[in-house]
Amino acid sequence: MKFSRPRLPHFIALLLGALSVSGFAPFYFYPATIISLAGLFYLWHRSHSANNAWWLGFSFGLGLFSFGIYWIYISLHDFGGMPAAMAIFATFCLSAFMALFPAATGWLARKLGSQYLAMPLIWVLLEWVRSWIFTGFPWLLGGYSQIPGSPLAGFAPVLGIHGVSLAVTISASILAWALYQRRNLPSLRRSALLLLTLWLAGGLLKLNTWSTPTGEPVTVALLQGNITQDLKWENNTLRQTLQQYLDMALQSRAQLIILPETAFPLLSSQIPQDYLQQLADHARDNGGDILIGTVEHQDNAYYNSMLSMGQSPEQAYRKTHLVPFGEFIPLKRAFGWIYENWLNIPLTDLARGGFQQKPMHIAGQQVAINICYEDVFGEEIIHQLPEATLLVNTSNDAWYGESLAAYQHLQIAQARSLETARMMLRSTNTGATAIIDTDGQLLAHAQHFTATTLEGTARGYVGMTPYVRWGNWPMLGFLFSALGLLWVRKKK
C-alpha cells in the first residue's frame, strides 16, 4: 500500500504508537516508549499547523491503544457474549476516545508555542485528566513503561507515576530536540548533559530507602484457582470451586492466606457456615488469618468485598472504585439497552464502599486492601497510608484471556509498591499472582493459567514517601505553574 507524502507522517505516528507498547509489561523494554514519544514530538515540531499536529497525535494514540488495550475485545466478545463486529467497534471507539488525549496535546502545544517545553507538560497534564475523567482510565501512562528497571523509576516515590511520566516526556523532548539540532554540536552537547542529569537524578533516588521493616516476617500463601471465566458463575461448577479453594487453603501453613477477587461466586450469606468455620479454624491453627473474595449483600446493596477471618476479629473491605460498564452502568438510561440485548456480564449493579475505610489488622500487620482495578489509582491507594504496613491486591483478570492485560496490571501494581515503599501481595484467579518488593521488583511470580499456591514471606514496612505525604499536588502545582509561565511568555 502506497502512502502519499502528506499521509506518511501520520502512518509513522501510528507505528510509533504501536512501538511504544513494547515499553510496557511483559516486554519491559523501557527505552521504546521514550524513543516513540521522541519521534512523535519531532513530528509535531515539523507539523505545519495545529490541526496537523492534532491528527498526528490521534494517529499515535490510535496505535498505542489499539495495540495496548486490544484485550477489551476479549472481555466483550469471548466472555461477555457481545457479537464480534460490535465488540470490535466498541474496542475501536474506546481506543479512538483515548487517542483524543495525545491529539489534544499536539494541538495545544502548537497553539502555546515553545513546543519542546510545552509538549512534556501538556502530555502529563492530560494523562492526569485521563486518570479521573469519566471515573478514569489511567492505563498505559508513560511512567508505567519505566517500572521497575529504568533509572527514571526513582521518581515514583517522590512525585508518583505522573512524575515518572514527566521524566519520560522530558527525556523524549530532549531527544527530539537533539534530532532537530543534529548538525549543531554545542546543542547536542547540552542535550546530552540535560539527559544525563535527569537520568542520574532518577538513578540516585532509586538508591534511597524510603521505609523500614516493622515486626516479624509473615508467611503468606496466595491462592490462584484458575477458574475459567466462562464457567466461574455456572451453578454446576460452584461445588467444585468451593472444594478446590478449601483444599488449597487447608494445605497451606501460612499465617496469611489470600484468595482472589470474588473467589466464591455467590453471596457471602449463601456460603455454608460449616465451610467458613473450617477456613477460620485453619487460619487460627496457623496463627494467622485468611482473606476471601466474595459478594456481600447489605442494606439492599451488593458489594465486591474481601472478608477476613481467623485469629483477628472479622473485618471487611468493600471495593470503592468500580469499573464502569463492568461493575456499574453509567447513564443507565442511555446504555442499559446494551446489557439487555448484547452483553452477559454478572454483577453490573454494585454499590461503592466508603472512601474512608481503614487497613485491616490481620496476621500482625496493618493491611491495605484494594480490589482489581483499584490499584490503578495511586492517589486512592495512599488514603490508607502511612498506617498500612502491607498492600494486598486481589484480582480476576481472567476476563481478558491470555493477553497482555494481566502483565500490564502487574506492572501497575509494581508502581504502587514503588510509590508507597510497601510490599504488595497479589492474589488472582488466573494471573498475575505475585509477591512484589518495596522497590517494585518481583520476588515471586506464579505461572499464569495454572491452579497453584504461591508461597513466600512478606515484611511490613513503616515510613512515608514524599508521594504518600503529598500525593499528586506537587506535580500538579509544577505543571500548572510552568504552563502558566509559557502562556504569559506567549502573550508577551
How far, in Å, are 25, 411, 416, 436 from residue 446 at the CA level? Answer: 15, 15, 19, 12
Question: Could you tell me which residues come within 8 angstroms of residue 242 by beta carbon, excluding any fewer than 6 positions away?
Answer: 264, 271, 275
**Rounded distance, CA 370 to CA 305, Å?**
10
User: What does the DSSP assignment read for 121-133?
Assistant: HHHHHHHHHHTTG
**Rounded distance, CA 161 to CA 66, Å?**
22
Whether 261 is a known active-site residue: answer yes
- Length, in residues, of the chain: 492
Q: Which of 261, 296, 327, 379 is catalytic?
A: 261
Whether 372 is a known active-site residue: answer yes
Give yes or no for a contact between 400 and 75, defined as CB atoms under 8 angstroms apart.
yes
Q: Which of 127, 327, 372, 419 is catalytic?
A: 372
**Rounded distance, CA 40 to CA 27, Å?**
21
Q: Which of 127, 319, 327, 379 is catalytic?
A: 319
Give yes or no for a contact between 276 and 290, defined as CB atoms under 8 angstroms apart.
no
Question: Could you tell me which residues come within 8 angstroms of residue 231 by beta carbon, excluding any fewer than 6 positions away?
Answer: 237
**Rounded distance, CA 240 to CA 246, Å?**
10
CB atoms within 10 A of CB 241: 19
φ and ψ at residue 407, rounded to 5 degrees: -70, -40
Question: Could you tell me which residues come within 8 angstroms of residue 274 by beta carbon, excluding any fewer than 6 positions away?
Answer: none
Whether 93 is a known active-site residue: answer no
Q: CA 282, 284, 290 angle in degrees (round to 5)? A: 70
Catalytic residues: 261, 319, 372
